[in-house]
Structure 1
Amino acid sequence: MKLEELSATTGATIRQIRFLISEGFVPSPAGGRTYATYGEAHVQAIRRFQRLKGLGFPNAAIRLLLDAREGVPVPVMDGLTLVIAPDLIGRDADLDRMIAQTETRLREAFSGGVTKARKRAAG
């Protein structure tokens, strides 16, 4: 897709996209300046940046989070922080599956052991 299409798809202005590319938040386009083309990796990178900004992270913190590859901490409540892999942010994901698995892990952690369903599955 062309720069204008990328802008329309992500809601980011052309100026913002150029800034994100120049700062390394978004990969350079294929084809150079004259025949620049963008794909799904560019869309995901922009959406990842937008979601992190929406969570209140400044650019410097976003850079550290993406470079560290350790995960993005998202406070849920006092004493509970969800850590999300940076490459998942901004990508379409099976949210229902993630929520179900997270709920299972939380129930295990707070019940002091493996749930009955996991015991049955384990055999």
Structure 2
Amino acid sequence: MKIGELARRSGVSARLVRYYEQQGLLEAAREANGYRTYDEEHVEQVVRVASLVRSGVPTRLIRALLDLEQAEAQATYSCPRTVAEMLAAELVGLEDKIACLTRSRDTLSRFLEQTEHAALVSEARAGGSVDTE
């Protein structure tokens, strides 16, 4: 598939797909005319990368995560201490963000459950659209 189709199916812009390529987060095959071509695995990868970016994970760490996953798939583990230290620090940061988001979610849920709008909590958790009017 071409970049426009990948962008449409993954929910990101073609410009963002190109940026992911520049950052080493995605690698496309090239046709003889220079056009990028993608397959189903690229769709999944772009969705995952975009989700990580939206979650606040820096692209340098996303690159390290993708490299680690590839190493796991090949059962080869080699990680310089500096990379391991960066990952450990980022892990602490992620745990802090998760804890903060969990507290915020719980506070919002408790508040809404104490109002006449308690049904909105279940609706939001079920993935339904919540009417804000």
TM-score (ref. length: structure 2):
0.47
Deviations 1:36-94 (A, max 9, x none): 3211111111111111112211112212222233799563549xxxxxxxxxxxxxxxx
Higher relative contact order, chain-length normalized (CA < 8 Å, sep 6+): 1
* Residue in 1 that maps onto 2:15: 15
Mapped partners of 1:6, 1:32: distance in 2: 19
* Residue in 2 that maps onto 1:98: none
Mapped partners of 2:60, 2:32: distance in 1: 27
* Residue in 2 that maps onto 1:63: 63
Which protein has the bigger strand share?
1
Percent of aligned positions with the same letter in both sequences? 31
**CA 30–56 in structure 1, closer or farther in 2 if over 3 Å, else same:** same
TM-score (ref. length: structure 1):
0.50
Provide the alpha-carbon RMSD of the alignment: 2.9
- Structure 1 residue ranges without an equivalent (≥5): 79-123
Mapped partners of 1:33, 1:19: distance in 2: 21
Greater displacement, 37-46 / 58-67: 58-67
Runs of 4+ aligned residues of structure 1 deviating over 4 Å after TM superposition are 70-74
- Structure 2 residue ranges without an equivalent (≥5): 73-86, 101-133
